[in-house]
């Protein structure tokens, strides 16, 4: 490569890095940090504005519009951690399609262009990852967990994208590159949110025992199931695999999040909607867990995120739409997820 081309490449990477950092810097008005709810709301608006340009099929575009609307509703009802939980998948999806659409010229260039993009993206990812400071204590555990769960997927998608591009199609490879970049975008977004100073951070350790027990429980559930279709266990298995990766990397906030996600997915397979009388009992459980999560000086925001999910179903806001699946989820959260959360953080 000529020195001129090398300089052009470095300049392009530098410009890209500046753009990303600029987007992720904390906004300020008259010297005051923008409240976290406003930061998330601004991100929702940005994603809504990007959707039309992606020219997605109508059903897919409507699905993402609905997901962003749900995030906005959670913000209005002060369920901030739950809004981030719901934001993560749509944020990553829009970011993926945005990246893929921007690389149309790379796709036209075939393998040569693809290889150049792989190397270029690798440098960009490495530079941008330096902006991620893995310090607990400044960011609530829930936001840390979502950031870690996203960060752990950056390199697997980057490497698998390269393999897909060489062995299947350049188009697929570029799509997976987009997934890699989008997950890093969300991790960085979470880390720059300006929360109030959180409570005393959780002290977590390896979840190897809990993950092995959940894997055994999942296998037992499959053996006892009359329907041997493995597809019903996909969500549980994917969450468990990601939890194991996070645990191996000592990203214990993320590992706890995905462990609880795996538990929720598994227990939902046999959950039933509560009767009106049971709903009243569930509200009592909800209040008890709410008091437990808010008492003391420990940052229980990961548990609070699931509590907000149950609260949404049992005490919906006027502009929210909840149904039977939400009530089933509330049952699972109160009977299974939150008890396991407290058992894990107290062990």
Q: Is residue 154 within 8 Å of residue 129, measured between CB atoms? A: yes
Predicted structure pTM score: 0.88
Is the per-residue pLDDT at 31 higher than 60? no
Closest by CA to 313, choosing from 337, 294, 297, is 337
Distance CA 119, CA 176 (A): 14
Q: How confident is the model at residue 16 (pLDDT cuts 50, 70, 90)?
A: very low
Q: Is residue 203 within 8 Å of residue 299, measured between CB atoms? A: no
DSSP letter (8 states) at residue 232: G
- Helix 208-224 crosses helix 234-248 at what angle (to 10 degrees)? 160
Residue given tokens 């840390």 in the structure block:
144
Q: How confident is the model at residue 20 (pLDDT cuts 50, 70, 90)?
A: very low
Predicted pLDDT at 320:
92
pLDDT tens string 241-265: 999 999 999 999 999 999 999 999 9
pLDDT tens string 159-189: 999 999 999 999 999 999 999 999 999 999 9
Distance CA 219, CA 237 (A): 10
Q: Is residue 146 within 8 Å of residue 190, measured between CB atoms? A: yes
Predicted pLDDT at 29:
35
Chain-wide mean pLDDT for the chain? Answer: 89
Mean pLDDT of 224-229: 78
Mean pLDDT of 142-157: 96
Q: How confident is the model at residue 24 (pLDDT cuts 50, 70, 90)?
A: very low
pLDDT tens string 71-111: 999 999 999 999 999 999 999 999 999 999 999 999 999 99
Radius of gyration of the chain (CA): 21
Is the per-residue pLDDT at 32 higher than 80? no
Q: Is residue 145 within 8 Å of residue 257, measured between CB atoms? A: yes
* Higher pLDDT among residues 102 and 225, named by residue: 102
Domain range annotation of the chain: 3-191, 208-346
Predicted pLDDT at 201:
87
Q: Where are the beta strands (DSSP E) in the chain?
A: 28-29, 32-33
First CA to last CA across the chain, in angstroms? 56
Is the per-residue pLDDT at 136 higher than 80? no
Distance CA 255, CA 257 (A): 5
Distance CA 52, CA 97 (A): 11
Token pair in block for residue 257: 């999040």
């Amino acid at each position: 490569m000529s020195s001129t081309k090398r300089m052009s490449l470095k300049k392009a990477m530098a410009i890209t890095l500046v753009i990303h950092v600029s987007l992720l810097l904390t906004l300020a008005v008259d010297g005051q940090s923008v409240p976290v709810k406003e930061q998330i709301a601004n991100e929702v608006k940005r994603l809504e504005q990007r959707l039309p340009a992606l020219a997605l099929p109508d059903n897919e575009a409507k699905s993402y519009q609905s997901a962003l609307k749900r995030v906005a509703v959670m913000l209005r009802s002060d369920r901030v951690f739950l809004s981030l939980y719901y934001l993560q998948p749509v944020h990553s999806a829009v970011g993926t399609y945005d990246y893929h659409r921007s690389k149309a010229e790379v796709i036209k260039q075939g393998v040569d262009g693809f290889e150049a993009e792989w190397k270029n993206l690798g440098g960009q990812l490495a530079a941008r990852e330096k902006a991620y400071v893995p310090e607990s204590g400044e960011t609530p555990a829930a936001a840390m967990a979502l950031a870690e769960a996203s960060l752990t997927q950056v390199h697997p998608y980057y490497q698998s994208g390269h393999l897909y591009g060489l062995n299947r199609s350049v188009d697929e490879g570029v799509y997976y590159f987009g997934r890699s970049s989008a997950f890093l975008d969300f991790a960085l977004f979470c880390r720059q949110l300006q929360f109030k100073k959180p409570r005393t951070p959780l002290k977590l350790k390896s979840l190897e025992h809990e993950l092995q027990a959940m894997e055994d429980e999942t296998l037992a559930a499959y053996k006892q199931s009359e329907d041997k279709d493995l597809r019903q266990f996909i969500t549980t298995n994917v969450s468990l695999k990601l939890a194991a990766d996070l645990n191996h990397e000592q990203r214990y906030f993320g590992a706890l999040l995905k462990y609880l996600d795996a538990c929720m997915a598994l227990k939902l397979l046999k959950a039933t909607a509560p009767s009106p009388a049971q709903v009243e009992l569930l509200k009592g459980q909800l209040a008890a867990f709410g008091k437990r999560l808010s008492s003391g000086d420990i940052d229980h925001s990961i548990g609070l995120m699931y509590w907000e999910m149950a609260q949404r179903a049992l005490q919906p806001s006027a502009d929210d739409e909840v149904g039977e699946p939400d009530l089933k989820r509330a049952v699972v959260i109160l009977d299974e997820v939150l008890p396991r959360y407290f058992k894990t953080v107290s062990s």
